[in-house]
Chains A and B, each alone.
Chain A
């Protein structure tokens, strides 16, 4: 694959309303304050990680991160593609409508491309579409956005990824018994008890050119569908292993060239088990440095491919990626000490999702330690 730069990124997440602040907060050991909610009927409490600030509309949030990613001097966007990656889209507005009306009518349903079309019209993007492959949506947005740039039709691409605090998601994952009762988000911990959902709004500007201060370089990636189960991937990790190998092949790198693997790590029993097996298949016992980011961001579902990539690359560039406080107890050798990578170091980032979608990205540090 032709390498593509992440020229600029913007992130609003539970840690902070900006990327630099989120990275600093993570480095300082700060965890986001979760907000409790109750599962309907069961009346059991669960935790949700909200973005700071309640009185900001979805349009305001999206415009803010798009503006930040584009930069002040972006000019006309007639050469720029927009890819919207989200599982929630406008669902919180529809939830409010259903609650207010006491029903939801077929005519209340909005098109799945509504948000993308509104943004295209408002900002003047050359083209826009919504990509939805569950929790790999944004990872696929980065991968296909980068490849569309290299194939010619666009000079720039903005990948916009977000997840709103949707009642359907909170109650739906609750109904599947996948949410953490303890609220302690601990992927790969032997006593992990599920995921904690998180809100996020993120955008990245992709280009073949580095720009003034690029955040990272995307070297390759791969995405495919494991058809063994709609909600889990193969327990033996074989599909995850295959996807990681194909991602490395697309980037013309080998597994031993990888300095760090950012694991998907949802902290559900099945996902962590399968990912552990996939890592053991690829690396055996001798693994590169490993990290997870969901303890800080929550699981940002379809947006995690971008929210986690941006936070990871910013933290590495600023030498702020902390160790994990429970690393010694984890079922994979996660780093307990801060991870520092040098300029040009290559890493792998995993993202898996419902619908059998598994994706891996190969990223390169730009900046970081000399």
Chain B
């Protein structure tokens, strides 16, 4: 197996840039749009000395904007109202939220909460498809004249004298053995004054930056959940557009964190999915199986009966909260959106925060551009802008929310009550956190562990109508990659897979990956020994493996640009 390593001796063509935004999701798009607005305002006042948008670039690894975007999703309109006051007139909206309810599920029953807890109340919010919404934002960018390079991934950060000097894009046309093919094109070195990382959850350049500059030194480790989603078409009348349902409990036990969402969209489409916290103890837990078991609950089965599954996908979400966010700006760089963890873990909403963070980063970038100073001092003002804005008003009170659940569901609920009463302080500010993968138990420690979790463990068999096995689900994600390229899941030492992990954890990668990328196959000629086999072209770019592998030896890097899932309508 050959992993993606930079080719030696390749000269990379260079291009100068004023601002490079890595990632075309809501944060990246909002950042570009806001920057364009600031430039237009400036040029209107200084017609003799206009600024040019020509050297502002957005890199997006998907073939088109929105292609890799997946979420529930519910949009809090607060930041869109600031960015584009008339957005409701043109943006694609599935429905305005009409009703919201929270259910607690046991194996057979569903108990509705008498009132929806205030953080989960969604009146004033909108059910959207993040894929369609971001695509629309992309069209707004195209009108502005800022260049979007879709099909190009940010492959490596460029460093010079301790500052981030820009981004290198992916090499194209490299074959399975890491040799250039006939259509080889080296990646471009975009030498940029300001680089803004908007890569989404567990960004790879963000990981590189964090490692190089030890960004998480005084921070809690980021904690994640993986959302596994299916889009369904159901018979008319089953659910109203704008109906929002959250569930807790079954199929999870008190040892796991997570819950489901069900949103009614337009024309009888239902967005449903299950977020499984990536801090579960049993290494055989399979988040895709969790979703299938969830659908078998009578409450959900009734809704979906006779319907058709249209699309499938998965993505991780960072809900470590305020204490696990890295420094936001430094020498030549800023981090926005999910890459920095701009997510309200209590409300489980982050799109509006991603958009606002993109806007504030654009304002910081604009000021830096005008002053010619993109040093840590200047770009560090991004941190201050965030702290002075409603982002902090929203995120600070819930800063200890997720940590409260580290000892299980019940203590989590108790903690939540306590936190809400104390404005987020709780017992002692701040609550520590542990990286989720550290909570995974080796197989021998599972002996004393309570049972009753077979509905979470191992591969789902699927009945083909209501529930599906992983491969069938995966087919509906529209995932495609250029087959002849090196594997983009870099495993530091595959011997660990065969010799240690097989015994200690039973190779959980086979289960936590929602896309069947990881398989253990028999070693030919060595009875009883298994080795890892990768199917990288199945990858849906969720980053679960990078997060959850107990030895932290897996690094996800972008495959050749253009490849990945096709999340139409997700």
Query: A and B bound?
Result: no
Tell me the A residues contacting B by CB distance below 8 Å. none
Tell me the B residues contacting A by CB distance below 8 Å. none
